[in-house]
Structure 1
């Protein structure tokens, strides 16, 4: 008679789940074992359910596989252990240092647009530069919770003013695709399904223009958006918290739009 363990794939599929993450990362069992200071034999036993990983081993493997924090809890539960990481609401008093840091970063980035979103692209904070871009967007799109993907890609939203909409839309959808491949997020999947169904207007395919090199090919995909009759060109950067131990913090992302040409920089500086 055999006895079920936390690693048995029938009841708690920690083995197949770890194998799935390893294959996504393109690692062999030997490569992962070396990184995790284990052996390929032991890892093989874990993946096939012949051995049960310890709590420490699950966390170590998850770290070396760069598994998102939320999904690390899923792995722990699948292995029969309690979750390691809590999910603290952003408005909780304990999150005050995070909120204050975010507000300082947003203010420091002005007059350039910047915002902070959660794992489903709901806007949790933004500066005055973002408010400038949202001027004229219909009230029904500005009802909370504000969603950055919806505001950007909805036909009545910022999409009306984006002059390279098809390119920018493809970039944003590919970005969501990558995230959905790493984490099972019903909220993000709902946003994805909504925005991919939006109709897309024709035109706006040229990636050249102010700030591009002489051959017309920019060094990074620009966002070209018309504001108050002025064509503004931005490049985007995204920053996240390093080594987070809270799910909420791990899913926060700050996107900053930097002027890609002198005309955009002058417009924003003069306007501030």
Structure 2
């Protein structure tokens, strides 16, 4: 019988050990860093990562907390260890999230006539108010694209429609890079980051090392260029994965010409 060297990485078939190492690497933490942060011995953590020891449910949650994983990733780590997920992931259309949907709808309605866009953690479009839907329509027309990052990086319409496409891609790349780091080895976010990296080469951001303090989104429309500044709302008071993963992006006019044009379009 051949014995496996205990210092070698766990076999790919050991889902928990593989995922734990992957999350720790994504966080750029050493075993000692994580062990100290979780108040466990480095030796025990090494045994968990090489599948020489099996974690308890409490240990999985302790490690997830030390890694500062989002709720979806905590559930994934629990399932890899053979435990049921702790955090619910209710469909957005479910009765359980009915009160939350009502809050979202009120926020989007009250924001009109300025654009409001609701996305999930992977920047898939989940809802848009009428103004936002009208602005996004040319970007979706080519192939029914529903991902905001793909709309910017892979549609021909974006090249003519977004006047400062290079700046917007640069800003979004920084945002997605941070989200990918926080998520801990999320393959979808990694792919979106790669798409933004490729688009950055084709559409370099102007200005070199000099960046303006506010980066607007400038959209060419039949009514003329419209300039927006955005704010993104996250919902942190829920322990439901779906709610935590949502982003509500609210766009505001960046100049008086945009404010006047949007009011005219809504009248």
Partner of 1:169: 169
Q: For 1:245 and 1:265, locate their aligned partners in 2 and report how far apart those are by CA, in whole Å.
A: 37
Worse-superposed segment, 8-17 or 159-168: 8-17
Instruction: Report deviation, 1:158.
Output: 4.7
> How many residues matched?
255
- SS state at 1:90 partner: coil
Match of 1:66 in 2: 68
Q: CA deviation at 1:69?
A: 2.3
1:23 matched to 2:25: yes
Q: Structure 2: state its 5+ residue gaps.
A: 4-8
1:239 equivalent to 2:241? Answer no
> 2:190 and 2:43 mapped to 1: Cα distance?
37
Question: Does the 8 A contact of 1:112 with 1:258 survive in 2?
Answer: yes
TM-score when scaled to structure 2? 0.74
d(CA) in 1 for partners of 2:85, 2:128? 32
Query: Who is 1:212 aligned against?
Result: none
Corresponding residue of 1:211: none
Instruction: Report the counterpart of residue 210 of structure 1 in structure 2.
Output: none
Q: 8 Å contact 1:138–1:156 — kept in the other structure? A: no
1:38-49 equivalent positions in 2, closer than 5 A:
38-49=40-51
Counterpart selection for 1:228 from 202, 222, 225: 222
1:12-161 matches, within 5 Å, as 12-134=14-136, 139=141, 141=143, 143=144, 146-161=146-161
2:139 touches 2:158 (CA, 8 Å); kept in 1? yes
Cα distance, 1:21 vs. partner? 1.9
> Aligned Cα RMSD in Å?
3.7
| Aligned counterparts of 2:140 and 2:125: Cα–Cα separation in 1 | 17
**In 1, Cα distance between the equivalents of 2:52 and 2:203?**
56
SS at match of 2:48: helix
Which range moved further: 222-231 or 99-108?
A: 222-231
Deviations 1:85-134 (A, max 9, x none): 33322111112122111111212222221110123433221123313424
Contact 2:116 2:129 in 1 (8 A): yes
Residue 153 of structure 2 contacts residue 195 of structure 2 at CA under 8 Å; is this kept in 1? Answer: no
Match of 1:265 among 238, 255, 259: 259
Q: Normalising by structure 1, report the TM-score.
A: 0.73
CA distance in 1, matches of 2:113, 2:197: 31
